[in-house]
Amino acid sequence: MAAAQEEKREEKKFSIWDLPDVPEKLPPHLEFARTRVQCNLDAPVHTESITYSGAYASMRVDNSVQLDFFQEKFRVEVKRLTKDDMEFDLIGIDPSIANAFRRILIAELPTMAIEKVFIANNTSVIQDEVLAHRLGLIPIAVDPRLFEYISENDSPNEKNTIVFKLHAHCKRGEPRLTVKTKDLIWLPNGSEYLLEGQNPDSSSSSKPKTYTSFSCSQDSLPEFANNPISTLPDITIARLGPGQEIEFEAHAVKGMGKTHAKWSPVATAWYRMLPEVVLLEDIEDEDAEALVKTCPVKVFDIEDIGNGKKKAKVARPRSCTLCRECLRVGEEWEKRVSLRRVKDHFIFTIESTGALPPEVLFTEAVKILEDKCERVFSELS
């Protein structure tokens, strides 16, 4: 209500002579353009964020970011949190920062994903490359922070590689077999396939050389002792007809989403600016009903204001999807309803693929941004 009143005051015409000589505040129309995106029927306006500290210098208003002010205003409100996704509000922040988090979440947070597949046998209809590609996209539920990156000359060891194997066979006379990710078996001791040129019979003192060189078993490590590494169980890898067989070993390594989307820890991460719906004038009776009816996401409600009169009110602005139907009710409605976005309030959504819970992903993203800032400082100093 208070906001609405404030809006009304803004809308009133004011004389240039009423302005103070030294304004401590921006004039309302500029303040509006600075803080809100106005979504008109044809196009949104004031979409850009004004970051230059001296943008309003001519009006003696300082536009620079002040830390204490930011600290005071900045808030994070978690609205919804489940195992795989979360929605939270980032309030009092510039779009560039919010976007930085989004970009880091998509492209720069490392995860583990299958990179190498050693196919021993594949008689299914699905080609080796396609099978490998599908395997790569399987999310692996393991904390990537426990692993290191593998570089080209590194030999795969327990610190940088996770090995899975799968052997599925559909016997003749049986119905078609669907191979799912739950059939992947984690090999904590590394690869079981011997390197070429190795004689399996020469089982002398040393272990036979395989495609990995694990110094110890991964399940002896404290992190994995009690929670074996797994994947999401119900993703179809392939379908086998009678007599077909798939046998392979898959090596997962750490990587980042910018190299390949399979390493992205999020299905997607995005934000939207907080919608703000304002009725610029009282909308009553039939008009109100028309307005309520027109909105597919029920932003508006009807309020009884006594003596049989009804008035429209904005009940759930947050659910506005910007379908702009309310502006299309009739002509002139663009002057009665105003759809806006608050420029410093972000509704952020993270959909995790399952490797890490979404809240951890976000804190990790913050850490990465922090690292980046520190790197800039250290490079500059």
Partner 1 sequence: MGLMQVDEQDVDDKQKRAASVKSAVDKFQLVPEFLKVRGLVKQHLDSFNYFINTGIKKIVRANDRLVSTVDPSIYIWFKDVRIGQPSEIVSGVSEKITPQMCRLSDTTYSAPILVDIEYTTLGSRSEKTIMQKKNATIGKMPIMLRSCCCILYGKDEAELGRLGECPLDPGGYFIIKGTEKVLLIQEQLSKNRIIIDTDKKGNINASVTSSTELVKSKTVIQMEKGKVYLILNQFAKKIPIMVVLKAMGMESDQEVVQMVGRDPRFSALLLPSIEECASLDIYTQEKASEYLEGKVKRSTFGSPSSNQEGRALAILRDVFLANVPVSNNNFRPKCLYVGVMLRRMMEAMLNKDAMDDKDYVGNKRLELSGQLVSLLFEDLFKTLITEAQKAIDIILGRPSRASRFDPTSSVLNKEIISHGLRRTLSTGNFDVKRFKMHRKGMTQVLARLSFIGSLGHMTRISPQFEKSRKVSGPRALQPSQWGMLCPCDTPEGEACGLVKNLALMTHVTTDEEEGPLISLCYCLGVEDLEVLSAEELHTPYSFLVIFNGLILGKHRRPQHFSNVMRKLRRAGKIGEFVSIFVHEKQRCVYIASDGGRVCRPLVIADKGISRIKEHHMKELSDGVRTFDDFLRDGLIEYLDVNEENNALIALYEGEGTLDTTHIEIEPFTILGVCAGLIPYPHHNQSPRNTYQCAMGKQAMGNIAYNQLCRMDTLLYLLVYPQRPLLTTRTIELVGYDKLGAGQNATVAVMSYSGYDIEDAIVMNKSSLDRGFGRCIVLKKYSAIRQKYENGALDRILRPDRTGPGAERVQILDDDGIASPGEIIRPNDIYVNKESPLETGGPINSAADPKDCKYRSAKQTYKGPEGETCVVDRVALCADELNNLSIKLIIRHTRRPEVGDKFSSRHGQKGVCGTIIQQEDFPFSERGICPDLIMNPHGFPSRMTVGKMIELLGGKAGVSCGRFHYGSAFGEPSGHADRVETISETLVKHGFSYSGKDFIYSGITGSPLQAYIFMGPIYYQKLKHMVLDKMHARGSGPRVMLTRQPTEGRARNGGLRVGEMERDCLIAYGASMLIFERLMISSDPFEVQVCRVCGLLGYYNHKLKAGICSTCKNGNNISTMKLPYACKLLIQELQSMNIVPRLKLAEA
Give contact residues for partner 1 (rule: CB under 8 A).
37, 39, 43-45, 47-49, 95-96, 98-100, 102-103, 106-107, 119, 122, 125, 127-130, 133, 137, 257-258, 260-262, 264, 268-273, 296-297, 321-325, 328, 341, 349, 351
* Cβ at position 128, least distance to partner 1 in Å: 6
- Closest to partner 1 by CB, 229 or 350: 350
Measure Cα distances from 23 to 5, 19, 32, 58, 303 in Å.
Answer: 22, 7, 16, 10, 39
Q: Which is nearer to partner 1, 99 or 198 (CB)?
A: 99
Question: Please, what is the minimum distance in Å from the beta carbon of residue 125 to partner 1?
Answer: 6
Least distance between partner 1 and beta carbon 368 (Å): 13
Return d(Cα 204, Cα 346) in angstroms, integer: 63
- Closer to partner 1 by CB, 166 or 269: give it: 269
* 3-state SS record for the chain: CHHHHHHHHHHCCCCHHHCCCCCCCCCHHHHHHHHEEEECCCCEECCCCCCCCCCCHHHCCCCCCCHHHHHHHCEEEEEEECCCEEEEEEECCCHHHHHHHHHHHHHCCCEEEEEEEEEEEECCCCCHHHHHHHHHCCCEECCHHHCCCCCCCCCCCCCCCEEEEEEEECCCCCCCEEEEHHHCEEECCCCCCECCCCCCCCCCCCCCCECCCCCCCHHHCHHHHCCCCEECCCCEEEEECCCCEEEEEEEEEEECCCCCHHHCCEEEEEEEEEEEEEECCCCEHHHHHHHHHHCCCCCEEEEECCCCCEEEEECCHHHCCCCCCHHHCCCCHHHCEEEEEEEEEEEEEEEECCCCCHHHHHHHHHHHHHHHHHHHHHHHC
> In whole angstroms, how close is the CB of 122 to partner 1 at the nearest point?
7
Cβ-based nearer residue to partner 1, 66 or 268: 268
- Whether residue 252 contacts residue 112, with contact meaning beta carbons closer than 8 Å, is answered with yes
- Shortest Å, Cβ 83 to partner 1: 18
Q: Angle at CA 231, nearest 5°, toward 150 and 358?
A: 85
Nearer to partner 1, 8 or 298 (CB): 298
Instruction: Give the nearest distance from C-beta 109 to partner 1 in angstroms.
Output: 11
Residue nearer to partner 1 on the CB measure, 211 or 271: 271
Comparing CB distances to partner 1, the nearer of 177 and 347 is 347
Of 126 and 190, which has the nearer Cβ to partner 1? 126
Encoding tokens for residue 158?
A: 């327990």
Amino acid present at 380: L
- Tell me whether residue 63 or residue 213 sits nearer to partner 1 (CB atom): 63
For the CB of residue 199, give the shortest distance to partner 1 in the complex, in Å: 16
Q: How far is the CB of 348 from partner 1 (least distance, A)?
A: 10
Q: How far is the CB of 328 from partner 1 (least distance, A)?
A: 7
